[in-house]
């Protein structure tokens, strides 16, 4: 075997090993952003992230107030209800190793709050069967592939003096499991 062929095989194997390790690395880390946010939140409860803690997270805009809800759908769907803010408001849904899979903003809000129901497809099918055909649906329904995940709530802080108001909006938010009737 000529030396140039061995060198080519070596380079290809090294390249392949590096590419594979880059794809495997996120699955082995225990201190990724998802894990850090998940640790700070009790299940099905809103946890406000303080401004100092936001600085330690990568790619987070300092002009937002943020809270998270670590949801668990095993007991039933989870309802997220956030009162409207004077500025931009959004809810992003994320799952481990999948990242953000859905996001809604205050433009979808009705009745003074952003109301989002996260459920498995089976739970959503059950909710649809229970719907009253005469009544309009005023909530946003979002299917989740897995039973657990994070809801990331963000309120834009347009000036430093409005951070306290944005945090009040997040403190008033609710993340609660709902039991479906039999």
**Mean pLDDT (whole number) for 39-67:** 81
Least Cα distance to 109 among 82, 128, 73 occurs for 82
Residue 133 β-bridge partners: none
What is the rounded CA–CA span in Å between residue 153 and residue 12?
A: 44
Q: How confident is the model at residue 171 (pLDDT cuts 50, 70, 90)?
A: very high
Q: Give the model confidence (pLDDT) of 89-107 as tens digits.
A: 999 999 887 788 999 998 8
**Residue 170 in this model has a pLDDT that exceeds 80:** yes
What is the token pair recorded at 137? 């649906």
**Residue 143 in this model has a pLDDT that exceeds 90:** yes
What is the rounded CA–CA span in Å between residue 32 and residue 19?
A: 20
The Cβ of residue 133 has, within 10 Å, a number of other Cβ atoms equal to 4
What is the rounded CA–CA span in Å between residue 109 and residue 124?
A: 20
Q: Assess contact for 177 and 72: CB atoms under 8 A.
A: yes
pTM for the whole thing? Answer: 0.78
36 burial class (0-12, 13-18, 19+ CB within 10 angstroms)? Answer: middle
CA distances from 68 to 9, 121, 159 (A): 48, 23, 22
What is the rounded CA–CA span in Å between residue 97 and residue 138?
A: 31
Q: Give the model confidence (pLDDT) of 118-136 as tens digits.
A: 999 999 999 888 887 777 7
Give the residue with greater pLDDT, 45 vs 138.
45
Q: Give the model confidence (pLDDT) of 144-157 as tens digits.
A: 999 999 999 999 99
What is the token pair recorded at 79? 């309802």
Q: What are phi and psi of 87, to 5 degrees?
A: -120, -175
- Beta-sheet pairing, 78-83 with 89-95: unpaired
The Cβ of residue 103 has, within 10 Å, a number of other Cβ atoms equal to 13
């Amino acid at each position: 075997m000529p030396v140039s062929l061995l060198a080519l095989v070596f380079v290809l194997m090294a390249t392949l090993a590096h590419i594979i390790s880059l794809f495997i690395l996120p699955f082995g880390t225990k201190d990724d952003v998802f894990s850090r946010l998940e640790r700070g939140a009790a299940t099905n409860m809103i946890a406000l992230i303080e401004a100092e803690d936001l600085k330690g997270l990568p790619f987070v805009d300092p002009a937002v107030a943020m809270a998270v809800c670590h949801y668990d759908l095993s007991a039933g769907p989870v309802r997220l209800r956030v009162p409207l803010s004077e500025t931009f408001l959004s809810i992003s849904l994320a799952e481990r190793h999948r990242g953000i899979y859905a996001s809604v903003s205050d433009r979808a809000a009705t009745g003074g709050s952003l109301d989002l129901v996260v459920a498995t497809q089976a739970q959503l099918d059950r909710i649809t069967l229970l719907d009253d055909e005469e009544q309009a649906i005023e909530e946003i329904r979002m299917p989740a592939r897995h039973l657990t995940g994070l809801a990331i709530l963000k309120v834009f802080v347009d000036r430093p003096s409005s951070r306290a108001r944005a945090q009040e909006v997040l403190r008033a938010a609710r993340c609660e499991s709902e039991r479906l009737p039999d």
